[in-house]
Structure 1
Amino acid sequence: MQNKKKKRKKKNQKMVLWSSLGVLFAFLLGLLIAGSVYCSSHFIKGTIINEIDASGLTMEELESRMREYVLTVRERTGEGSYITETITGDQIGVTVSNTDELNGILKQQNILKAISSYIKGEQQVYTVENLYAYVDSALMTAILKLQGFQESFVVEPVDAHISEYDAENGYRIVPEIRGNVLNQTKTIQTVETAVDALLTEIDLEKAGCYEEPSVYADDAKLTERLAQMKQYTDLRIVYHFGQQEEVIDGSVLSGWLLVDEETNKVSVSEEKIDDFVVMLRKKYDTIFRSREFQTSYGKTITIEGGDYGWWMNYSQEQEQLKEMIRNGESGERIPVYYQTAAVYGSQDYGNTYIEINLTAQHLFLYVNGEKKMESEFVSGNAARGFDTPAGIYGITYKEQDAMLVGENYETPVSYWMPFNGNIGLHDAIWRDSFGADIYKKSGSHGCINMPYLKAKELYGEIAKGTPVICYYLDGTESEQTIGQPDAEKAQAVVDSIAKIGTVTKDSKKKIERARQLYNDASAEQREYVTNYEVLTAAEEAYQSLKK
C-alpha cells in the first residue's frame, strides 16, 4: 500500500514539473513572439539614426518627430538677460524623404539583438542618406529673423576702458559691455548643426556665437595704465601771480597725457608743457609793454618803452616744470625769471619808484607810496641829440666812486645808479645849477645829473631793481632851478677823504681819488674841505708802507 502511494505521488510531481515547464515555454515563446513583433515595428534601444536617438520609436513616431520638429534657441539681450525663440519644422519645410532605409533597419532587428543592446548598453548607429530634408533658404530666413539679428535688439560690445577725467572722481575703469552681437557665420553653422541632428534646444552663448569684448575690467594692462595716469593727475602745481593763480592739476594734466599702446607707458606731452609756459609768459610778462601811470602832476599817461617788468626765462621754466612733473612733485612754483618787477599786474612798478619828468626836469622818489624826496636835475642834451629816452626801467646796480668813460671824457662820480644801459642817475659836482631848460643846450650825454647831496640821498634810499619811470609831459615845463653851492661841491671831497679809513697797501685807489677831487676843486671849494690833513696823512702813511 505504501509503495502505491509513493508511486502516485512521484507521478503527480512529474506532471506538475512538465506543466510548469510547458507554461514557462509558452511564456517565453509568447515573449519571443511579442519581442519579435515589437522589434519589427520599434527601433530597439541604442538605435541612433543620423545622430537622432530613435530608441523605442516606431517609424511613424520617428517621422512625426521629424515633421513636428521644434528648435528652441536661447539668446542674450543687450542688458545681459535671456530670451528664447523657436524654429519649427513647418518654417523650414521639413520632409521625410527616405522611409525605405528606415524599414530596412527595422527588418534587420531581432529580439536577441534587442536583448543584447539592452544588457550591454550597445548602440546601433546608422547613417541614412537623405533621411529627411529641409529648405535651406527657409532655414536661412528663419535664422536671420531671430531677434539677435535685428538692429533694434542688438547692442554692440564695448571693451573695458579708462573713463574721461572727472574733476570729482578722476580716472576710473569703465567695465566692459558684452552686448549681444551675433557672429553670423558661427550662428548659422550652429543652428544648421542643431537642425541636422534634430536637437530641440541650443544656447547661442554657450555655443560661442557672440562677439565678445577683447578687454575686460580686470585686465592687468588696463589696471597698470590707470595707475600711471593717476600718478600724474593726482599732482597739483600752483603758480601765484599776485592775486591770480594758475593751477596744474588733474583737469589740466589729463589733457597732456600720452599713452604708448605698444609699451603701455603713460607720459606727459612736452609740447603741452611748453605751450603752457608760453601761455604764462604771454599772460604775465610785462617787459616791453605799455603802462598807465598816474603822474605827480595829476595826469594819467601811457608810457611806452623801457625794459622794466617781469621777464620769464621760459626755456628754463619749461625744463624745470617738466622735471617736476616727471618726478611726481606737487607744490607751489615760482617761475624762472631773467628779470622781476615790484608786483604783478599792469602797474608792476608798485608804489616804490623814481619818477622822472623830463619836461619839467624834476624827479620824485616814492617809497611805499610816500614821497620821500624830490630834486631838479639836468638830463640829456637835446641840441646834440642826446635826449634821455622815456620809458620804464629798473636800477641795474649801484656803485660808489665810479668812473664814467665816454668817447672823449672820463668823469669820476661818487654815486652811480645806471638804469638804461650807460644812462643812469649820478652826482654832478661840476654843475652850478639844475632844472629849467638847461638840458636843451647844456645837457648831459643822456644821464640824469643831480646835485651831490640829492644824489647821495637817493643812493641811500633805493636798491637794485627800483623802477625808474621817465616821461615827457607837455604843459609841465618849468623855469625853476636850484643851485649847487661850493660847500655842497666840497662835501664830495670831504666824503671821499673820509672813505680812506685805515691806510693799507690796498688804499691806493681811494687816496688817489680823494686827491683828484681835491685838486679839481676850486680855491673857494677847498675852503670847505675840513679834513684835508687826513688826506695828506694818508698819503704819507701809504708811502711809508711802500718802502
Structure 2
Amino acid sequence: MDLKKIKITKQAKICLSLLIAIIMLLFIIIILYNDKFYPNTSIGGIDVSNMTLSEAKNAVQTDLKNHVLVIKGRNNAKYELRGADINLNANYEKQVEDCFKKTHGLFSFYKIISGEDFDVNFDVSYNKEAFKNNLSQSFLITGDNYKITAPVDAHVEYDKTAKSGKVIKEKQGNQLDQDKFYSYVEKSIQQLKTRVNLDKANVYLKPKYVQTDKEVLNELSQYNNYLCRWVCFDMGEKHYEIISPKEIKDWIVIGDDASVSIDQEKMAQWVEKFCLKYKTVGKTRKFKSHTGEVLEVSGGDYGWQIDYSQTVDQVYKALTENNTQSDVDAYVKNKSNTNKKKLLKKLEPIYKNKAYKMNFENPTEDYNTQTYTEVDISEQMVYVFQNGQVVYSAKCVTGLPSDVTRSTKTGCWYIKDKKLEYTLTGADYTTPTKYWVRITWTGTGYHYMNRSDWDKWSPELYKTRGSHGCINLQLEDVKNIYNLVSMRDMVFIHD
C-alpha cells in the first residue's frame, strides 16, 4: 500500500471539510444578516451595527435630534453646540439605503469581520440665523468667565538686567478669527462631527511676527542702535548734561510694522527741561544800587537762554545717527567704559542768548557785578558802574507812565547796539538823534533828545512829559554814557 497516497487523501478530505464548514458559516451569516448591517458598521460616524435598515434610519434620526458638537478650545475651553438649538436636520434616508445595499453586495460578506465606516456627508440643514447667534453669544466669543487675550507679536523690550534690548517671544492668545471659526464649525456640523479641536483648525488670530522673523531681528538691532549711546552737553567748568540709555529707553517707539523710531515729543520734553534748567532770562536778580542798597529786579531779556528749536534738532540728530554696529554689539556684550566711550556723542549747547558768565551755584548772578548801568525811574537818573563804583550819573526822562505803549519797561536788559547817529521812528514821529544805545529790541535805548524843557527838569517831569519809552538824555550826558558802556553790558531798569 502506498502510504504517501493515503496521506494526501486524508489532507484533501480535511481541506474539503474546512471549506464546506466555511461556506456553511458564511451562508448562515448571510442569512442572519440578510436584513441587517454587519457588526462594527457606522454611517457618517453614527453606529448602525446589527441594525435593520429601518432601525438604522431611526438611529440616524435620533442622533440628529440629540446631536452635540463638542468644541474644544485653548485654555481648557469646552463648548457644546446642540443640534436641537439650531434646528439640525438632514435628508439621510437615501444615503442609509445606499450604504445598506453596499453592505449586502455580492462580495461584501468579508466585512462581517472588519466592519465598515461609511464616510457619508448627509444633506444637512439647520437654522443659519440660530447657528450664528448661538456661536456669537458663546463664551468663546464674548469672553464671559473666560479671559480672551489677543495674540502678541514678538517684539523688543528693554532688559533691566542686561541694560539693552531683548526679544520677547510672541504670544498666541485665544482670540478667534470669527469668520474662520464660523466656517469651520459650520463644516463640522454639516459632517455631523461630534468633537473638534480648534487649536488644530487654524481659526485663532495669529501674531504677525514671531521671534525668528528677520523683521524682529532687525528691530532688535535698530533698538540697540538707538538705545546704546550717550549724548553729552558740555556746559563748561566741568558741568555736563547727559542723555543716557536710561532716558532714551522711554523715547523709543516700536511700530506695528516692527519699525523703530524716537518719540520726538517725549524727547522734546527733556530738551524743554534742559533749556529751562539753564535759562536765566527773566529771572529776578539782585544788584547793588547807587545808594548801596541791594535791590531786586525781575523780567527783561538779559541772561542765558538755550535755543529750544535748534537743540531739539541737535538732539534728534545725535540720537538717530547710526552708531557703528560692531561698537553697539561690543557694548551689549560687555558694558565696559572703553566700549561705552565709543558710543559717546559730545555736543556744545546752542544759545539763543548769552550772559557774562555761567554761575552754577547762583544762576542769576550771571552778569558782571562790577560793570553795569542802573536806570532809576522814580529818581529819573542813570548811573554807570565800573569796578563796582558809580563812575557817572545823569538825569534823564523816561517813558510816559500813563500810556502802556510809551512807558519804559522795567527789567534786566543788556546793551544790544551802539550808533553815533540814528533815526527814531514811531507811528506819529520820525526823530533823528545822536549817540544811540539800544537796550531793548522793541526800541528802548539811551539817546540824546533836544528837549526844550531840560531847564524845567524834575523827577516828576516824565509823568506828564514822558518819552515814547526811550531814556532821553542831554547831549553831554549821553555822549559820556555812550563812551563808558560796552556791548552786552547789563542795564537794570527799576522804579
TM-score, structure 1 length as denominator?
Answer: 0.52
Q: Contact 1:290 / 1:305 at 8 angstroms: preserved in 2? A: yes
Query: Which of 191, 206, 210 is matched with 2:185 structurally?
Result: 191
**Which residue matches 1:447?**
480
**Which residue matches 1:349?**
366
Residues 45, 257 of structure 1: CA spacing in aligned structure 2 closer, same or farther, 3 A cutoff?
same
Structure ranking higher on relative contact order (CA contacts 8 Å, 6+ apart): 2
The whole-number CA distance in structure 2 between the counterparts of 1:105 and 1:147 is: 39
**Which residue matches 2:287?**
293
The correspondence of residues 40-439 of structure 1 with structure 2, limited to 5 A, is: 40-43=34-37, 49=43, 51-52=44-45, 57-59=50-52, 60=55, 63-64=58-59, 67-68=62-63, 71=68, 73-77=70-74, 81-87=75-81, 102=96, 106=100, 109-110=103-104, 113-115=107-109, 146-152=138-144, 153=146, 155-160=148-153, 175-239=169-233, 240=235, 248-250=243-245, 253=248, 264=259, 266-267=261-262, 269=264, 281=275, 284-287=278-281, 291-295=285-289, 297-303=291-297, 308-312=302-306, 317-327=311-321, 330=344, 333-337=347-351, 339-344=354-359, 345-349=362-366, 353-354=370-371, 363=385, 365=387, 374=389, 377-379=391-393
The whole-number CA distance in structure 2 between the counterparts of 1:128 and 1:348 is: 93
Q: Contact 1:233 / 1:253 at 8 angstroms: preserved in 2? A: yes
CA-CA distance at 1:446 after TM superposition: 3.7
The one-character-per-residue Cα deviations of 1:373-410 (angstroms, maximum 9, x if unpaired) are x5x64445759x9xxx99867899xxxxxxx9889xxx
Q: Percent of counterpart pairs with the same letter?
A: 17
CA-CA distance at 1:203 after TM superposition: 0.9
Q: Contact 2:151 / 2:175 at 8 angstroms: preserved in 1? A: no
Secondary structure of the residue that 1:202 maps to in structure 2? strand
The whole-number CA distance in structure 1 between the counterparts of 2:19 and 2:411 is: 137
The whole-number CA distance in structure 2 between the counterparts of 1:104 and 1:112 is: 14
The whole-number CA distance in structure 1 between the counterparts of 2:190 and 2:297 is: 95
Residues 38, 137 of structure 1: CA spacing in aligned structure 2 closer, same or farther, 3 A cutoff?
farther
Q: Which amino acid aligns with 1:158?
A: P
Q: Which amino acid aligns with 1:264?
A: S
The one-character-per-residue Cα deviations of 1:309-347 (angstroms, maximum 9, x if unpaired) are 325455654554343333356456441335342234553
The whole-number CA distance in structure 1 between the counterparts of 2:281 and 2:136 is: 73
The whole-number CA distance in structure 2 between the counterparts of 1:189 and 1:334 is: 64
Q: Contact 1:74 / 1:202 at 8 angstroms: preserved in 2? A: yes
Unaligned runs of 5+ in 1: 1-5, 367-373, 397-403, 408-417, 425-439, 474-547
**Which residue matches 1:428?**
none
Secondary structure of the residue that 1:301 maps to in structure 2? strand
Which structure: larger Rg? Answer: 1
Q: Contact 1:354 / 1:466 at 8 angstroms: preserved in 2? A: no
RMSD between aligned residues: 6.0
The whole-number CA distance in structure 1 between the counterparts of 2:72 and 2:223 is: 39
Residues 188, 364 of structure 1: CA spacing in aligned structure 2 closer, same or farther, 3 A cutoff?
closer
CA-CA distance at 1:202 after TM superposition: 1.4
The whole-number CA distance in structure 2 between the counterparts of 1:134 and 1:206 is: 25
The whole-number CA distance in structure 1 between the counterparts of 2:76 and 2:493 is: 85
CA-CA distance at 1:118 after TM superposition: 8.2
Secondary structure of the residue that 1:36 maps to in structure 2? helix
The whole-number CA distance in structure 2 between the counterparts of 1:340 and 1:290 is: 14
Q: Contact 1:40 / 1:110 at 8 angstroms: preserved in 2? A: yes
The whole-number CA distance in structure 2 between the counterparts of 1:352 and 1:246 is: 27
The whole-number CA distance in structure 2 between the counterparts of 1:261 and 1:355 is: 59
Q: Contact 2:71 / 2:78 at 8 angstroms: preserved in 1? A: yes
Secondary structure of the residue that 1:266 maps to in structure 2? strand
Query: Which of 31, 37, 52 is matched with 1:37 structurally?
Result: 31
Aligned length: 405
The whole-number CA distance in structure 2 between the counterparts of 1:105 and 1:90 is: 26
TM-score, structure 2 length as denominator?
Answer: 0.57
